[in-house]
Amino acid sequence: QYGLEKPRGYNVSFHYNPHVEYHHFGSSHPMKPWRLTLTKQLVLAYGLEYTMDLYEPRPATIDELEVFHDREYLSFLSQVTPQNAKPDDPAYLSFGFGGESNDCPVFDGLWNYVSIYSGASMSAAQNLNNKQSDIAINWSGGLHHAKKNLASGFCYINDIVLAIQLLLTQNQRVLYIDIDVHHGDGVEAAFESTDRVFTLSYHKFGIDRNGYPFFPGTGNINEMGPTDPANRGKGHSLNIPIDDGIDDEQYKWLFKTVTGAVIEKYNPTAIVLQSGADSLGGDRLGRFNLNIKAHGFCVETVKSYGRPLLLIGGGGYTPRNVARTWCHETAVCVGTELHNELPTHIPYIQAFQGAENGGGILYPDLHNTKRHDNLNTQDNLHKLVTQALENLRYVEG
């Protein structure tokens, strides 16, 4: 009878609707929902499903999404198809679709896709609310750029905002932390007028040599939420702008120091961690040089504070490494270590084999896979931390 008991420790739940995998943004688009198939295969291959409660959440309904998004935006999103889309229609462009960059294309099953990943984040938040889980995971969510009436940066519905709104029914203060290489602008904007949510984002910030800002171009250290003294949200956002090529030791120090200070000062009763995997070395869009275990260190650090934790995905454009990272972080949550040799009898094993794909191991060295020179000096980072801690002066615990 003892052998069948789950190991003591954290109650972890895994919220995943496999239908999300079968959606395609288009062949040249960097966002590949198929990375979730790879992630799931690794999680299963290591037997992690026996250490968690598994849920297959239903898609969110339009009424549930309306808690954050505008009705007109949702009715457009729910009806538009590649066949009926009119790319010159002012409504189409004003809601953020198409355009020159085509960051947010209209593809087959778009509405199905967005309601599935949103439903999974809401299901995860509900599990924390009713104390069924200590840590709830949704790797298909984390779409942090979506605004109430605007699709942006591959994000159409902001599942994070919807999940935080659910957590706010049971928690006085929720902390949102975002380690995606991009600024979590949509979540920050959604809660700019409240002191019940603190948003903290680490991201690449700066202008490239052609004069283009790194997407979305916001999130400098001095952007701390509204400055109107009457506004309750004042000082309840903290942005950590980072330059190209940051390494493991620098990032771990920065993350531990700043996140620790925020948690101690703000004292949240629940934490949401967006764990975008585009901050890894070798990411197709990212600029950092992090290894998988340094990324996972952020999950370990947040977990160590013992608050109810919602862990969600986000960006990540080198699918094999996204899968490795999210599998590793699932193991961190349940408190187990994984062997470096990948189990060989898994579907899609070829995606992880060969020198260029990480040599069939879980923790390949990513530091040199697509080298970005490290432009972060120790001096710059110390000044950044000093300024970040100074920015916390508006926060009352």
Residue 182 as a binder of ligand V1P (CB under 6 A): the answer is yes
Q: CA 292, CA 123: separation in Å to the nearest integer?
A: 27
Residue 279 as a binder of Ca ion (CB under 5 A): the answer is no
By beta-carbon proximity to Ca ion, the closer residue of 121 and 201 is: 201
Per-residue binding letters, 149-188, with Ca ion (x by CB under 5 A): -----------------------------x-x--------
Q: CA 237, CA 365: separation in Å to the nearest integer?
A: 33
Dihedrals phi, psi of 130, to nearest 5 degrees: -95, 15
Dihedrals phi, psi of 345, to nearest 5 degrees: -90, 55
Q: What is the dihedral of CA 217, 25, 101, 92, to 10 degrees?
A: -100
Residue with tokens 């979506």: 146
Please, what is the minimum distance in Å from the beta carbon of residue 360 to ligand V1P?
27
Per-residue binding letters, 182-221, with Ca ion (x by CB under 5 A): -------------------x-x------------------
For residue 282, give every residue at least 6 positions away whose Cβ sits within 8 Å of its Cβ, in sequence order, or none: 318, 321, 366, 369, 370
**Region from 99-107, 157-165, 269-277, 326-334 binding Zn ion, contact rule CB under 5 A:** 269-277
Size of residue set near ligand V1P by CB under 6 A? 20
Residue 119 as a binder of Zn ion (CB under 5 A): the answer is no
In the list Ca ion, Zn ion, ligand V1P, none, the entry touching 178 (Cβ below 5 to 8 angstroms by class) is: Ca ion
Q: CA 68, CA 73: separation in Å to the nearest integer?
A: 11
Tokens representing residue 38 in the block: 């790879």
152 forms bridges with which residues in the sheet? 155
Q: CA 32, CA 317: separation in Å to the nearest integer?
A: 7
Near Zn ion by CB under 5 A: residue from 178, 278, 283, 329: 278
Q: Which of the residues are catalytic?
A: 183
By beta-carbon proximity to ligand V1P, the closer residue of 235 and 316 is: 316
| Positions in the binding site for Zn ion (CB under 5 A) | 180, 182, 276, 278, 315
Q: Which residues bind ligand V1P (CB under 6 A)?
A: 28-30, 101-103, 143-145, 153-155, 180, 182, 215, 276, 278, 285, 314-315
